[in-house]
Amino acid sequence: MNAHFTSTDLDAYFERIGYEGPHEPSLDTLKALHLLHPQAIPFENLDSLLGRPVRLDAGSIQQKLVGAGRGGYCFEHNLLFRGVLDALGFRTRSLGARVVWGRTDAEMPARTHMLLLVDLEGRTYLADVGFGGVTLTAPLEFETGREQATPHEPFRIDRVDAGNYLLQVKLDGAWTPLYRFDLEPQFDIDYEVANHFVSTYPPSIFRHNLLAARVAADSRFGLFNRRLSLHGANPAQRELTSVQQLRDVLQKEIGIRLPDQADDVSSAEFDAMLARLP
């Protein structure tokens, strides 16, 4: 078993996401965990906004995302998920990606996203529980050019050129690119470097904007600063005009136990951060 994940750690994780199924490394187990994880553990960048370090060691991630009822961003989510899968006997590979979602320029972005490949029963699957507003809710077979259904939107892996791939999601009938990646293995130090960049580099989107998201059974909640969006059968948007509204949405719709309830952040400090949001 993975040295970082004891049976007690796994039990706590399973309780956190509401999983009561078998523990063998099967496709059914992978699919169940991949669906439950993003419904229970939100995407959020509150620590970066508060100027607090985002720690990627296994103990810190487990304490924050599992024990404290918080969320996190891609490195935290996928390192936690990798640890669980490894402890259950899955064979995982860690990769890095360049996020192109929402970009309008042609400049190649830095490699600032983490994803996993899972080798299982002679096939390979892409697993990623940490992409925020359009997080996958099922593993994808690593097969290019084929539309693949998930419990939410369809996705597709395309080959860009020799050795480079593009993950796309189908939104409102059109394919939208999410991130570009290759198969070069990434090591934990690579994620430490990328994590330091996105959480401390002054122009980073995570330093000045609130991003939070959670998957629901048939929809998605997304929060960008003061704009709350509901995606699904009945899409809607609304602007949050007060700190109390932001608090309510973060706790109820996004499902976060706020830092001033779980950590050493004061309510005054947390509310001041929310009040500064554009």
Q: Which residues are catalytic?
A: 74, 113, 128
Distance (Å, rounded) from C-alpha 149 to C-alpha 101? Answer: 20
Query: Residue 105: which residues within 8 A CB-CB, separation 6 or more?
Result: none
Dihedrals phi, psi of 229, to nearest 5 degrees:
-120, 140
Whether the Cβ atoms of residue 224 and residue 210 lie closer than 8 Å to each other: yes
Is 242 exposed, middle or buried (CB count within 10 Å of its CB: 0-12, 13-18, 19+)?
A: exposed
- Rg of the chain over Cα atoms, rounded to whole angstroms, equals 18
Query: Which amino acid is present at 107?
Result: E
Q: What single-letter DSSP state applies at residue 250?
A: H
Distance (Å, rounded) from C-alpha 48 to C-alpha 199? Answer: 5
Neighbours of 182 (CB within 10 A): 15
